[in-house]
Structure 1
Amino acid sequence: MKIIGIESMTGQELSHELDRGGRFVIYEYTFSVLIMTFKRSSDIYFLKGGENAVVKGLAFSGLTFLFGWWGIPWGPIYSIGSLFTNFSGGKNITNEVLAALSSPQ
């Protein structure tokens, strides 16, 4: 997965933003095609301290709201879960990303 939001940041700038409350999050989205329902995760997003996580996830919530419900029975079930995650600010995976970034490749 790629990380969106750190493209031009140095390690020092990233550390500073993390100290200010920055975090890495992923969003969920659900879409249904006839009888099949798919629940997926977005790329990783870096949110700077004070940045609104719910607003960043609105595109994924909109996709879920429009296309997630149609598969029965999993469409509504997965859609509710995805919307709950996104409107809670996404899934915070900061610790996992920092562990992966600090481990030798």
Structure 2
Amino acid sequence: MAKGYWIGRVDVNDPEGYKAYVAANAEAFAKYGARFLVRGGAFAAVEGEARARNVVIEFPSHEAALACWHSPEYQRAKAFREPPVGLADIIVIEGYDGPQPG
């Protein structure tokens, strides 16, 4: 079964307010088996537009990734991140389990 991912691009306008979001989202992420693959860090925007912060979160399945997003636990946490604290683009996507170039 393919894993699920959240891919997020975020501009944080209120770092102190964003800390409340980070603390609150831990409950939902633990419940749905989330694992951070990218959490900030240096990047190069080689094509298109970027935001200041990038995040990739892995889940055991696409279904778990969607369930986490829609969960009451995450929706409570998300309220801490909404404007004016931050502005985000987030997609929930199914991973690829097929053949690789080789």
Place the TM-score, normalised by the shorter chain, in its bin.
0.3 to 0.5
Which structure carries more strand by proportion? 2
Instruction: Point out which structure has higher relative CO (alpha carbons under 8 A, 6+ apart).
Output: 2
Larger Rg: 1
The structure carrying a bigger helix percent of its residues is 1
